[in-house]
Amino acid sequence: MKRVNRTTKPKERIEVTNSFLGICHMQVCAESNMTDKEILEFCNSANPSGTTNGWGKVIREDPEGHDGKSLNPVQCNRDLNRTHFLVSC
């Protein structure tokens, strides 16, 4: 019979990986197929931005970059089915 460790929590579909990047960005690690709506709902409940409109945009494409740094999503190096997204307020 296989033993099951009941103390291990199931992996969440999304988690905050950096709650504050600059003035108005946050980073999350999410399953790659999550929608913007799902990501923003999580962000606004788990780590409210403190602004009137809250977290309002998932950055999926940033052709110009900011200060020479790309804000494009990147694949998670721990799980190939997850992506690191930035959200902005």
pLDDT tens-place string over residues 49-75 = 989 999 999 999 876 656 656 778 999
Q: Is residue 4 part of a domain?
A: no
Mean pLDDT of the chain: 85
Q: Is residue 43 part of a domain?
A: yes
pLDDT of 11 over the 80 cut: no
CA atoms within 13 A on the CB side of 42: 22
Q: In percent, how much of the chain has pLDDT > 90?
A: 66
Q: Is residue 9 part of a domain?
A: no
pLDDT at res. 8: 45
Q: Is residue 10 part of a domain?
A: no
Cα-based distances in Å from 41 to 4, 33, 69, 80: 32, 15, 26, 23
pTM higher than 0.85 for the full model?
no
Residues 29-49, mean pLDDT to the nearest whole number: 96
Q: What is the count of structural domains for the chain? A: 1
Q: Is residue 3 part of a domain?
A: no
What distance in Å separates the CA atoms of residue 65 and residue 82, rounded to the nearest whole number? 22
Q: Is residue 78 part of a domain?
A: yes
Residue numbers of the domain that contains 35: 15-88
